[in-house]
A and B are shown apart, each in its own frame.
Chain A
Amino acid sequence: MIAASRRSLARYGANQLLEGVKMPLVAEKLAAALVISERQASAPLLVADIMRELEDRGVVARADLASANALSARLHKQISDYLKQAVKVDDVILNQQIDPALIGGVRIETANRSWDLTVAKKIDDMRKVF
């Protein structure tokens, strides 16, 4: 039996979700496919692939936000509005992480794009210039 590729599984998962199939059911089916083909370790990658599919189709984008301080709701909305415009999706899911090492600013990562607007990045660039 030929195992389905991760990409085709991701497409299948995205289709199922868009057709309105409940997420736990979709997850169960995809988990079974991974177990049969003994690729359990690639589950996080499959999730990222599904998010990429959904983002490519303009449905939803998941953005990982990293900043030195917690962002306010206003800022969340501002970022969400910007991402909807930039990534061309209908909806954005924000995932906040705090990292004091960034000093200031914010880093945004979606499935297909990333923006590093942190002070740490600017200082690092300055170091490289020297």
Chain B
Amino acid sequence: MTSEILQFGSAESGGGISSLGLDLKAFIFQLIAFLIVLVILSKFVFPKLVKTLEDRRQTLEKSLEQAHQTELTLASAEEKAKELLHKARSQADAALADAKLEAKSMVAGAEAAAQAQAKRILDEAQDLIKEEHDRLSDELKKELAGLVATATERIIGEKLDSTKDSELIGKTIKGLAK
């Protein structure tokens, strides 16, 4: 077949294709060479290349898929983290509010207790003062009564002689006899 092709080429070399500046022999040789290279490539190189490329493509695809999954997981984790943070913040706020309330009520309780104690101390002091006042008042009354009685004794003792005393006794006995 090749010799036929060569013969055809040389028969035609004086006319058509050679007027275009192309060498048919050379062209056919190149074509054959090209075809041999193509066959070799197709048989030995292209499959491996394609396989390699395919493998790479698959790997890339897997990687992309994994990256996508990772992105999704990350997004989900971020979402969860946000949620946890939000929860924690809410709990912290609630705990703070509770603590503030408790502190307020403790302060109010302490204030009330202090006020009650102050009032109790005041009442006790007032009772003590009243007691002391009453005691002193009683003592003064007794002393005054004693002074008045002593003064009366002295005065009557001085003024009452035996004659007046006898008159007094006589009148008293008469009064009893009635």
- CA of A34 to CA of B142 in the docked complex: distance in angstroms? 49
Which stretch (B12-20, B84-92, B158-166) binds chain A?
B158-166
Point out the residues of chain A lying under 8 angstroms from B153, CB to CB.
Answer: 103, 119-120, 123
The A/B interface has a contact count, at CB < 8 Å, of 70
- CA of A75 to CA of B177 in the docked complex: distance in angstroms? 13
At the interface, is chain B mostly helix, strand, loop or mixed?
Answer: helix
Point out the residues of chain B lying under 8 angstroms from A85, CB to CB.
Answer: 177
- CA of A67 to CA of B152 in the docked complex: distance in angstroms? 18
- CA of A105 to CA of B144 in the docked complex: distance in angstroms? 25
Which stretch (B21-29, B112-120, B127-135, B168-176) binds chain A?
B168-176
Bitwise interface map of A from 94 to 105 toward B, beta carbon under 8 Å scored 1, else 0: 000000000111
- CA of A117 to CA of B145 in the docked complex: distance in angstroms? 21
* Top 6 closest pairs, chain A to chain B, by CB: A130-B145, A69-B162, A104-B160, A104-B165, A127-B149, A117-B172
Which residues from chain A sit less than 8 Å from chain B, CB to CB?
67-72, 74-75, 78-79, 81-82, 85-86, 103-106, 115, 117, 119-120, 123-124, 126-127, 129-130
Which residues from chain B sit less than 8 Å from chain A, CB to CB?
141-142, 144-146, 148-149, 152-153, 156-157, 160, 162, 164-166, 168-170, 172-174, 176-177
